């Protein structure tokens, strides 16, 4: 009887630890996405301020700083896409894991 209770308690703790790990990975993925979005907004704001200050110049696209910001924005957009895909993969993995756990019961 005591062994059964101890075994059940260990299994419950293992399940709780797995769920906590899953929730932590999801939260981290969401935080990474939010951070990347913030970086995009900040870079866009910096670029916009620069463009506003230099509207009299005819070709801002050729300005080295503008090109650097555009490259940074493109890299951040790609990073955001990858982070969203990673979050989606984690969610699918956890859904499959949950389905497998339900099948065991």
Q: pLDDT tens digits for 19-36?
A: 888 889 899 999 999 999
Look at residue 51 in the predicted model and tell me its pLDDT: 83
pTM above 0.85, yes or no: no
How confident is the model over 35-45, as a mean pLDDT? 94
How confident is the model over 39-55, as a mean pLDDT? 87
The residue to which tokens 């110049």 are assigned: 57
Q: pLDDT tens digits for 52-98?
A: 787 766 677 788 888 898 899 999 999 999 999 999 999 998 888 77
- How far apart are the C-alpha atoms of 45 and 42, rounded to whole Å? 5
Cβ–Cβ under 8 Å, residues 29 and 82? no
Residue 62 tokens, joined: 């050729």
Spatial CB neighbours of 101, under 8 Å, sequence gap ≥ 6: 15
């Amino acid at each position: 009887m005591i062994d059964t209770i101890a075994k059940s308690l260990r299994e419950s703790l293992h399940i709780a630890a797995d769920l906590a790990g899953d929730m932590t990975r999801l939260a981290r993925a969401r935080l990474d996405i939010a951070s990347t979005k913030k970086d995009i907004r900040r870079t866009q704001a910096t670029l916009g301020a620069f463009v506003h200050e230099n509207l009299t110049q005819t070709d801002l696209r050729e300005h080295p700083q503008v090109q650097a910001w555009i490259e940074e924005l493109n890299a951040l957009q790609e990073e955001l896409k990858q982070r969203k895909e990673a979050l989606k993969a984690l969610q699918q993995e956890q859904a499959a894991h949950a389905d497998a756990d339900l099948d065991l019961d």
